[in-house]
């Protein structure tokens, strides 16, 4: 008497983690395209407000397609159990940055977001993360406020802008 115990049915998906990642990237690209729907694309000579978000969404969808094909052709890792801690702290860092930018400015919102995202791992050290957050914020202020001259509030509670 023969049993089929221990045999698995063949699957087209050889890397479930890559498949899940590609589906997530398709989802993000779809949301970006949906949000940029009303924006004009423009041309290379006259770039419209939708040029960058649409271009990046299409690029992301293309990379997701490559990852999807890779999940069917190459062996990879199975899906692992999800940990809630990184999801909460990284997503929370984005939300806190968005909520804190206007009233507190980039000088506070930047380090705050980096420090909060650092709590996603139990291997990070607070002072190293804070120093990295301050350095990254200084680089962002130099780039966005001064080099690109974007109207980003630095410290409205202190400087008025």
Question: Residue 63: what pLDDT?
Answer: 97
The domains of the chain are located at 16-73, 84-147
Q: What is the pTM of this model?
A: 0.66
pLDDT tens digits for range 61-104: 999 999 999 999 988 888 888 889 999 999 999 999 999 999 99
What's the angle, vertex CA 87, arms to CA 23 and CA 124, rounded to 5? 125
Taking the CA atoms of 30, 36, 155 and 133 in sequence, report the sign of the dihedral they define. Answer: positive
The DSSP letter of residue 99 is H
pLDDT tens digits for range 2-60: 445 555 556 788 899 999 999 999 999 999 999 999 888 888 888 888 899 999 999 99
Kindly state the tokens that stand for 37: 């729907």
pLDDT tens digits for range 144-153: 999 988 888 9
Q: How many residues in total does the chain contain?
A: 161
DSSP per-residue codes, 33-96? HHHTTTS--B-SSSB-TTHHHHHHHHHHHHHHHHHHHHHHHS--PPPPPPPHHHHHHHHHHHHH
Query: Taking the CA of residue 144 as centre, how many other CA atoms within 13 Å lie in the half-sphere pointing to its CB?
Result: 14
Question: Residue 5: what pLDDT?
Answer: 53
């Amino acid at each position: 008497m023969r049993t089929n115990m221990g045999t698995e049915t063949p699957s087209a998906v050889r890397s479930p983690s890559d498949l899940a990642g590609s589906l997530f990237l398709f989802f993000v690209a779809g949301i970006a395209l949906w949000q940029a729907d009303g924006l004009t694309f423009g041309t290379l000579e006259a770039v419209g407000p939708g040029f960058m978000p649409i271009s990046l969404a299409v690029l992301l969808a293309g990379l997701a397609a490559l990852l999807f094909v890779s999940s069917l052709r190459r062996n990879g890792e199975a899906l692992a159990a999800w940990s809630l801690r990184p999801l909460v702290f990284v997503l929370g860092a984005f939300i806190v940055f968005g909520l804190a930018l206007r009233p507190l400015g980039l000088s506070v919102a930047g380090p705050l977001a980096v420090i909060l995202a650092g709590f996603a791992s139990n291997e990070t050290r607070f002072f190293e993360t804070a120093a990295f957050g301050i350095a990254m914020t200084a680089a962002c202020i130099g780039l966005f406020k001064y080099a690109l001259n974007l109207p980003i509030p630095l410290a409205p509670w202190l400087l008025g802008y």
